[in-house]
Amino acid sequence: MASPDSATLREPVVLPPMPGEHEARAAYPPIGLERSRVTGGRLVFDRDEGFDRALAQGFFLVRIPEGTDPAAGDRFAAHFHEERAGGDPLDAYRGYRHVRVPGDYQGYFDREHDQWENFYVERDNWDVLPSEVARVGRGMAGLGVTILRGVLEHLRLPREHWARVTGGLTEDRGHQMLAFNHFRSHKGVRGSKFHRDSGWVTVLRSVDPGLLALVDGRLWAVDPEPGHFIVNFGSSLEVLTERLDRPVRANVHGVVSTERAPGQPDRTSYVTFLDSDLTGTVYRFENGTPRPLQSVAEFAGQEVGRTYDDSGAL
């Protein structure tokens, strides 16, 4: 439960109940996302105004870099929740409901109020994954770090503060988490609650429509594009920049209730979350200086608690 005195607590957001995918398809058009790529280690947008628009929307597309093949992650997301069959080649991707992963917020989660079931694993524990899945995670995490550096450079934040305010992420340290999602269409509840990600940068692999985001006071569909990851910004980056001339938006988003005919595959996805270590501090830039606001542990508890509860509030 967040303290009412929390320096990072945003104003309440009023949202409709999460619709089913057929209702959402009719009601919410897809938003036009800015496109980008990484060239020479730098984040480059296809349009001159693309970077600033992406910061304001909170979402954009980035081309999947050469050498990062998402297929192994796709297989893992489709099968991690299943029981092993015994000798089946896909068994390397199954049985993860029972795998114990050390550390906070890691391992298998059965979300009571959502279709979501997840497997979360931080970089230090990626050896529990098939090696080709861990390789995808390293590629996505490296891409996320490049994006974070690009944002801070674009905003002209002094480089000497980067490592401190990001908990070392700009130096490829910090908290780098892979999260695999399976949406159980047989479960007649929301796909996932509307929420904000709590960290810095989220790199999403999805091939199915169904993600909705609140942008400029209106709900839009955020649809995947072949050959691209979807990127969105988290609350740590929003808090850091909220008093700058060009603040970064961590927009509210969630997943519609998956509706499938018998025999059709469920929706799956996976992401890499870049976050500060729980022992770190949340900062806000004021007058050119980062001001400490709250511990990351308190901030994470505040944000995560509202992500998975059964209330209609955020």
Domain membership of residue 41 (yes or no) is yes
pLDDT at 39 over 60: yes
Q: Is 295 annotated for ligand binding? A: no
Query: Where does the pLDDT of residue 264 fall: very low under 50, low under 70, confident under 90, or very high at 90 and above?
Result: very high
| Residue 126, C-beta contacts closer than 8 angstroms, at least 6 positions apart | 134, 137, 138, 178
Q: How far apart are CA 242 and CA 234, in angstroms?
A: 12
For 2, phi then psi, to 5°, come to -75, 140
Average pLDDT, the chain: 92
Mean pLDDT calculated for residue range 229-238 = 96
| Residue 258, C-beta contacts closer than 8 angstroms, at least 6 positions apart | 21, 115, 183, 184, 185, 191, 210, 266, 267
For 43, phi then psi, to 5°, come to -80, 125
Query: Where does the pLDDT of residue 8 fall: very low under 50, low under 70, confident under 90, or very high at 90 and above?
Result: confident
Mean pLDDT calculated for residue range 106-115 = 94
- Domain count along the chain: 1
CATH of residue 198: 2.60.120.330
State pLDDT tens for residues 114-160: 999 999 999 999 999 999 999 999 999 999 999 999 999 999 999 99
Contact 228, 160 (CB under 8 A): no
Contact 268, 74 (CB under 8 A): yes
Mean pLDDT calculated for residue range 215-231 = 95
Domain membership of residue 258 (yes or no) is yes
Q: Is 181 annotated for ligand binding? A: yes
> Where is average pLDDT lowest: 16-20, 79-83, 206-210, 241-245?
16-20
Q: One-letter amino acid identity for 104?
A: D
Domain membership of residue 7 (yes or no) is no
Mean pLDDT calculated for residue range 286-301 = 90
| Residue 168, C-beta contacts closer than 8 angstroms, at least 6 positions apart | 174, 276, 277
Under DSSP, is residue 148 helix (H, G, I), strand (E, B) or coil? helix
Mean pLDDT calculated for residue range 41-62 = 97
Domain membership of residue 10 (yes or no) is no
Domain membership of residue 270 (yes or no) is yes
Q: How far apart are CA 256 and CA 234, in angstroms?
A: 20
pLDDT at 1 over 50: no
Under DSSP, is residue 298 helix (H, G, I), strand (E, B) or coil? helix
Query: Where does the pLDDT of residue 302 fall: very low under 50, low under 70, confident under 90, or very high at 90 and above?
Result: confident
pLDDT at 198 over 90: no
Output the pLDDT for position 312.
62
Domain membership of residue 313 (yes or no) is no
Task: State which residues form the domain around 228.
Answer: 21-305
State pLDDT tens for residues 16-38: 889 999 999 999 999 999 999 99
DSSP label of 79:
H
* CA proximity to 257, closest of 15, 17, 20: 20
Domain membership of residue 192 (yes or no) is yes
Output the pLDDT for position 2.
47
Q: Is 253 annotated for ligand binding? A: yes
Q: Is 195 annotated for ligand binding? A: yes
- Beta-bridge partners for 36: 45, 62
Q: Is 267 annotated for ligand binding? A: yes
Q: Is 235 annotated for ligand binding? A: no
Domain membership of residue 1 (yes or no) is no
